[in-house]
Amino acid sequence: MTEAVSACCRHGTGRSLFGILALAGLSALLLQVEWFYMTLKLIGGAYLFYLGIRIWRGASAPLSADTSVVFQGKSVWRSFTFALVTQISNPKTAIVYGSIFAALLPASPPDWLLLSLPPMIFLVEAAWYAAVALAFSANRPRGVYLHFKDWIDRIAGAVIGALGLRLLMEGLQSQKA
């Protein structure tokens, strides 16, 4: 269980780092280059729409519920470090956060919001993965998810795709103005 908590903290830490990078880069660029803001909206919207389609299409793909896999004990620090390096090696996370920030943040967000986002990202990500780890360590919740997997994944894909479409529409409307 300590390995699972370590992995949850890793997710929170890795995602917070990417959130900080996305915020720092976005804030600096968006304040200087307005056309970049619109370009980011279009690219981010297209990417989120693409992700939504991929999630929707993969909803019916079978998922193994093999409970015989046993985690080989490692130190908590080693688990955390290995998982953090794995998380940081996925730059798509920065693109996702950049897309979400472009969709939901104003062009010039207040400083308090910029400073509060990384800790909030950590808390949300770590709490989410902790809840998932706890829920799916039991057979019943895992079975419920597997039973409703198609619907859950399709809803998630639709939400992400809708956010992507919103970004695309805003970017296209801004270019017309």
Lookup result for tokens 């519920």? 65
What's the pLDDT score for residue 89? 55
User: What is the reported pLDDT for 53?
Assistant: 94
Give the mean pLDDT of 141-153.
88
pLDDT, residue 56, reads 94
What integer pLDDT is reported at residue 153 of this predicted model? 93
Give the CA distances from residue 9 to residues 76, 91, 105, 141, 168, in Å, rounded to whole numbers and listed in that order.
Answer: 11, 18, 25, 22, 33
- Render pLDDT for 11-64 as a digit per residue (tens, 0 to 9): 788 788 878 877 777 556 666 777 777 777 788 788 889 989 999 999 998 876
Q: Which of 89-93, 96-100, 117-121 has the highest mean pLDDT?
A: 117-121
For the chain, the first-to-last Cα distance in angstroms comes to: 54
Asked whether the beta carbons of 113 and 105 are under 8 A apart, the reply is yes
Whether the pTM exceeds 0.75: the reply is no
Cα–Cα distance measured from residue 109 to residue 69, given in angstroms and rounded to the nearest whole number: 46
Around Cβ 152, how many Cβ atoms within 10 Å?
Answer: 15
Between 130 and 53, where is the model more confident?
Answer: 53
> Per-residue pLDDT for 2 more than 70?
no
Section 65-91 average pLDDT: 61
Predicted confidence at residue 148, as pLDDT, reads 92
Distance from C-alpha of 9 to C-alpha of 104, rounded to nearest angstrom = 25
Residues making up the chain, counted from first to last: 177
98 Cβ partners below 8 Å, 6+ apart? 22, 25, 26, 40, 44
